[in-house]
Amino acid sequence: MKLKHFIFGLSLMIAGFLGGNTQPVHAESLNFDVGAVLPDNQANKDVTYFDLLVKPNAEQNLQVRINNKDSQEHQYKVAVNRAVTNRNGLIDYSDHGKKADKSLLYDIEKYTTKPQTVTVPAKTSQVVTINLKTPAKSFDGVMLGGVRVMQVDQAKATSKKGVTLTNRFAYVIGLQLHENDTKIKPDLHLLKVMPKQLNYRNYITVTLQNNQPTIMRDFNVNAVVTKRGSTKKVINYKKNNMSMAPNSNFALPLGDQGYQLEPGKYTLTLKANADSKKYSWKFTKNFEITSDQAKKLNSTSVDQPEKKNNYMIWLLIIGIIVILLLIILIIIKFI
């Protein structure tokens, strides 16, 4: 029972510490909080994130207040991160400097202050300034990012029975820039299909791209993989309620569990819709899994096929050996 309780508790710790780090966590886990000081050009005054109506070639300072509630001073890393789409089909602001999609014209990271580290004394609030300079040319749609604030000295790794847990929490304040109310239609593209291993499990990944400066909401996918020329489904996968950041792409892993890859030629048929089915797309793409790809990925996958237990063969061999020994004993006795 103690062992079961330990395993259960450890799984909860891993889920808590290694889960999504861009969402606010319970107050008892943090000794600081943050808030946006909304400027006069805030478009939607009913939200607590930056939703700014800007003009071309304009410059302004954005302010974020960090409230250190602890009894000692702390350092905080403040970074403006471009919005991307992660492999779960969620808009993510957790990383700075990630490779941008080719369709991105204006990277919000290049028009704002570089990541900075500030020190906030104990039981004190401090305002951090982020300089914003908008592109010289006007743009339609939105530039989307987030101001991520993480306490630098909070990350303490602990090790127990070979498992290392790192405690990292952060706040993210959305940063959305637009110059007008022009509605931009999302446009979905299928870039590539390929086998890939994630966390030691094999998947067929489908790289999807939203190449427009608009958020794709209520994004749903229905994907089927068949052997080429066959109607038998090798993979049948559905995922709903996703979203995509403007001008971004992500590799969607098909299936909930990995599997052993089989070399061969395949066909992907993918249907997708967004914004309450206002927009819809359909793609068909052939792809191939080579013998080398399958061999390499299968050899490192945790989903190894079960080895057949040849009990009957071993019983037969043992039976033959016993019979031979009996024959030998009988021959020795009567000679």
pLDDT in tens, 105-125: 999 999 999 999 999 999 999
Nearest partner of 242 among 252, 257, 228, 233, judged by Cα: 252
pLDDT of 318: 86
Instruction: Inform me whether the pLDDT recorded for 200 exceeds 50.
Output: yes
Instruction: Inform me whether the pLDDT recorded for 94 exceeds 80.
Output: yes
Q: Are residues 31 and 109 in the same domain?
A: yes
Q: Is 127 exposed, middle or buried (CB count within 10 Å of its CB: 0-12, 13-18, 19+)? A: exposed
Lowest mean pLDDT among 15-29, 153-167, 246-260: 15-29
pLDDT of 69: 96
Lowest mean pLDDT among 22-36, 142-156, 186-200: 22-36
CA–CA gap between residue 217 and residue 142 (Å, rounded):
14
Asked whether residue 216 is assigned to any structural domain, the reply reads yes
Instruction: Inform me whether the pLDDT recorded for 196 exceeds 90.
Output: yes
Q: Are residues 171 and 36 in the same domain?
A: yes
Q: Are residues 30 and 174 in the same domain?
A: yes
Instruction: Inform me whether the pLDDT recorded for 141 exceeds 50.
Output: yes
Asked whether residue 293 is assigned to any structural domain, the reply reads yes
Asked whether residue 224 is assigned to any structural domain, the reply reads yes
CA–CA gap between residue 223 and residue 238 (Å, rounded):
6
What's the mean pLDDT when you consider all of the chain? Answer: 87
Q: Are residues 210 and 94 in the same domain?
A: no
Asked whether residue 108 is assigned to any structural domain, the reply reads yes
In which order are the strands placed within the sheet that holds 74-82? 50-53, 170-178, 143-151, 74-82, 116-120
Q: Are residues 173 and 260 in the same domain?
A: no
Asked whether residue 312 is assigned to any structural domain, the reply reads no
Q: Are residues 229 and 134 in the same domain?
A: no
Q: Are residues 171 and 201 in the same domain?
A: no
pLDDT of 3: 38
The DSSP H or E segment spanning 3 is helix 2-18
> What is the mean pLDDT of the segment spanning 30-49?
96
**67: containing domain:** 21-156+164-178
Q: Which residue has the higher pLDDT, 226 or 259?
A: 226
Query: Partners of 35 in the beta sheet?
Result: 65
Asked whether residue 44 is assigned to any structural domain, the reply reads yes
pLDDT tens digits, 271-329: 999 999 999 999 999 999 999 999 999 998 887 765 545 566 777 888 888 888 878 87
Asked whether residue 234 is assigned to any structural domain, the reply reads yes
Q: Are residues 40 and 169 in the same domain?
A: yes
Instruction: Inform me whether the pLDDT recorded for 9 exceeds 60.
Output: no
Amino acid identity, position 12:
L
Considering its fold, how many domains does the chain have in total?
2
pLDDT of 122: 97
Whichever domain contains 125, its CATH number is 2.60.40.10
Asked whether residue 307 is assigned to any structural domain, the reply reads no
Q: Are residues 170 and 199 in the same domain?
A: no
Q: Kindly state the tokens that stand for 25.
A: 């966590």
pLDDT tens digits, 97-106: 999 999 999 9
Instruction: Inform me whether the pLDDT recorded for 17 exceeds 80.
Output: no
Q: Are residues 103 and 193 in the same domain?
A: no
298-320 b/e (C-beta count within 10 Å ≥ 16 → b)? beebeeeeeeeeeeeeeeeeeee
> Phi/psi class of residue 200: alpha, beta or left (left: φ > 0; alpha: ψ in -120 to 50)?
left
Q: Are residues 86 and 201 in the same domain?
A: no
pLDDT band at 186 (very low <50, low <70, confident <90, very high): very high
pLDDT of 306: 58
CB proximity list for 25: less than 8 A, separation 6 or greater: 169
Nearest partner of 132 among 47, 39, 67, 66, judged by Cα: 39
Q: Are residues 173 and 197 in the same domain?
A: no
pLDDT of 115: 97
